[in-house]
Amino acid sequence: MRKVKTGIIGCGNISSIYLENTTRMFDSLEVCAVADLDMERARAKAAEYGVPRACTAEELLADPDIELVINLTVPQVHAKVCLSALEAGKHVYVEKPLAVSMEDGRSILELAKAKGLLVGAAPDTFLGGGIQTCRKLIDDGWIGTPVAATAFMASRGPESFHPDPDFLYQPGAGPMFDMGPYYLTALVNLIGPVRRVTGSARITFPERIITSEPRAGQRIKVNTPTHIAGVLDFDNGAIGTMITSFDVGATSLPYIEIYGSEGTLKVPDPNTFGGPVLLRRLGAEEWTEMPLSHGFAGNSRGLGAADMAEAIACGGQHRASGEMAYHVLELMHGFHIASEQGKHYEVQSSCARPALLPMK
């Protein structure tokens, strides 16, 4: 299989693990260039990971050899960069979320379809060994028919560890848009698409103080909800409960649990790729840790882009698809809309459950 020539736009905090993996782990990608508004940062990343070229985004998009753009910019410009890449005739894979607004998300998918190009989007953690094992257990009937699910992401917020946390408290981020994609993508992969949602959302603390270096003591104005509680009605009849919060100091809640007619499955942290995967069937007195059926249990960010590159080179459907990312984007907006309007939000989009990866 040939390598797909790839350029990365955005050399911020998340780029290091992408560059580590895309330059050294995946055979389907050849990273030819990196770009950033800060050229010093782009040159430093190129030197660190052996990328031949550091350039501006405009120069990268003008390069006729680059087929795939990995967009690692901040959420507020995801759509702008994706649309520019598609206009330049490039396939595009973007960090989550697909876009800030549903309108921009639709525009990305429509332009890609018109130009015959592929769109992919993070998170790709659902392709890791942990959640792929959960998916196989569900598909093979180990818990019977899924009837309900819970998903919880509760923390005190990123200002204690992120070097530049401001954007995480603006529209397009917050706990739902920053962390929700991991949980919702996992749920859609495990159970299927969602037909309606409802929820309640609030801004608990209008201002945050950064405690991480190098900006400790600086203040952030909060412009997006920081605690969201929601309910999901899946197409197959299962009902999900979800909380995402940057307002919780301590918790012992599970990450994700799937409750079936014949048992319960404890799903590992969907922000990671590995296990443990715990199963308790009806009548059992204890949980059983299940061996992982699939590989990629370590930090494999970029796996979705590598899978997409295989689809570009060989044909077929990539798994971390733009359609699933848009469905997740609509679900996240749906929770906020339902809270504002005080009623259920009927979901307009849908997507296919992605195919399992080959077993290890």
Q: Note the pLDDT tens digit of each residue in 97-146.
A: 999 999 999 999 999 999 999 999 999 999 999 999 999 999 999 999 99
Specify the pLDDT at position 105.
Answer: 98
- Residue-wise pLDDT for 307-329, tens only, equals 999 999 999 999 999 999 999 99
Burial 247-264 (b: 16+ CB within 10 A, else e): bbeeeeeebbbbbbeebb
Average pLDDT of the segment spanning 237-260: 97
- Residue-wise pLDDT for 19-36, tens only, equals 999 999 999 999 999 999
Share the mean pLDDT of the chain.
Answer: 96
Specify the pLDDT at position 164.
Answer: 86
Specify the pLDDT at position 145.
Answer: 98
Minimum mean pLDDT among 91-100, 166-175, 266-275, 282-291: which range?
A: 166-175
Fold of 126-295+328-346: Dihydrodipicolinate Reductase; domain 2 (3.30.360)
Amino acid, single-letter form, for residue 155? S
Average pLDDT of the segment spanning 337-354: 97
Percent of the chain scoring above 70 in pLDDT = 100
Specify the pLDDT at position 311.
Answer: 97
- Rounded CA-CA distance 58/37 in Å is 10
Domain boundaries along the sequence of the chain: 4-121, 126-295+328-346
Check pLDDT > 80 for residue 1. no
Check pLDDT > 90 for residue 303. yes
Specify the pLDDT at position 173.
Answer: 87
Architecture of the domain delimited by 4-121: 3-Layer(aba) Sandwich (3.40)
Which three-class secondary structure state does DSSP give residue 149? strand
Specify the pLDDT at position 321.
Answer: 98
For residues 274 and 299, is the Cβ–Cβ distance under 8 A? no
Check pLDDT > 80 for residue 360. no
Specify the pLDDT at position 51.
Answer: 98
Average pLDDT of the segment spanning 206-232: 94
Percent of the chain scoring above 90 in pLDDT = 95
Specify the pLDDT at position 172.
Answer: 83
- Rounded CA-CA distance 72/60 in Å is 14
Q: Where are the alpha helices (DSSP H) in the chain?
A: 15-24, 39-49, 57-62, 78-87, 102-115, 129-139, 174-190, 303-314, 322-341
| pLDDT tier at 171, thresholds 50, 70, 90 | confident
- Rounded CA-CA distance 11/279 in Å is 40
